[in-house]
């Protein structure tokens, strides 16, 4: 297995000590730094779980990723995905689902559903649990299976007549 991190200054193999990441979620200064780098998405992942590290990526090798999307006003949207080896599953953090068809733009101009954002403190618990439990789906927050999301939850970068931004 090979762990990897793309999170601010921690762009490397392996995962940082959770204590180094904690301030980015739990303090105003850390949250400002989280957003001020001109990027609002980060991630942790592990390639080659369940003894598949020697197999072909995107096909037989099983990989798990936790994508972290931050927003200063709304909190964090998390996406947990497991792919490869005939498996494919994605789960999103479950926020206020009545707001699924309200969107906020990411720094990459993607439209993200407001209803999947959770408070920074809750997101931190899930990120920490992901690290501590070796990429297991964190049980400390509620998740929604991507297959259970209504159509157009992620409408893409183009704004249509019925799309309103928060």
Please report whether residue 157 resides in a domain. no
The tens digit of pLDDT for each residue in 78-133 reads: 999 999 988 789 999 999 999 999 999 888 888 999 999 999 999 999 999 999 99
Please report whether residue 128 resides in a domain. yes
Range of the domain at 129: 2-96+114-148
Q: Is 55 a residue whose pLDDT tops 70?
A: yes
Calculate the average pLDDT of the chain: 89
User: 47 near 63, Cβ under 8 Å?
Assistant: yes
Please report whether residue 163 resides in a domain. no
Please report whether residue 159 resides in a domain. no
The tens digit of pLDDT for each residue in 66-77 reads: 999 999 899 999
Please report whether residue 109 resides in a domain. no
Rounded Cα distance between 42 and 67, Å, is 6
Please report whether residue 70 resides in a domain. yes
Please report whether residue 108 resides in a domain. no
Please report whether residue 48 resides in a domain. yes
If one counts the domains in the chain, the total is 1
The tens digit of pLDDT for each residue in 18-28 reads: 999 999 999 98
């Amino acid at each position: 297995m090979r762990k990897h991190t793309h999170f601010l200054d921690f762009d490397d193999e392996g995962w940082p000590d959770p204590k180094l990441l904690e301030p980015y979620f739990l303090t105003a200064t850390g949250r400002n730094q989280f957003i001020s780098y001109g990027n609002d998405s980060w991630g942790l992942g592990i390639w080659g779980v369940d003894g598949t590290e020697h197999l072909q990526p995107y096909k037989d090798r099983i990989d798990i990723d936790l994508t972290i999307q931050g927003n200063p006003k709304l909190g964090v949207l998390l996406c947990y995905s497991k792919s490869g080896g005939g498996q494919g599953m994605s789960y999103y953090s479950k926020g206020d689902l009545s707001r699924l068809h309200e969107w906020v733009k990411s720094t990459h101009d993607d439209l993200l559903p407001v209803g999947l954002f959770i408070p920074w403190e809750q997101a931190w618990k899930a990120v920490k649990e992901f690290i501590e439990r070796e990429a297991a789906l964190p049980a400390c927050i509620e998740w929604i299976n991507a297959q259970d999301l209504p159509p157009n939850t992620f409408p893409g970068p183009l704004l249509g007549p019925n799309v309103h931004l928060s």
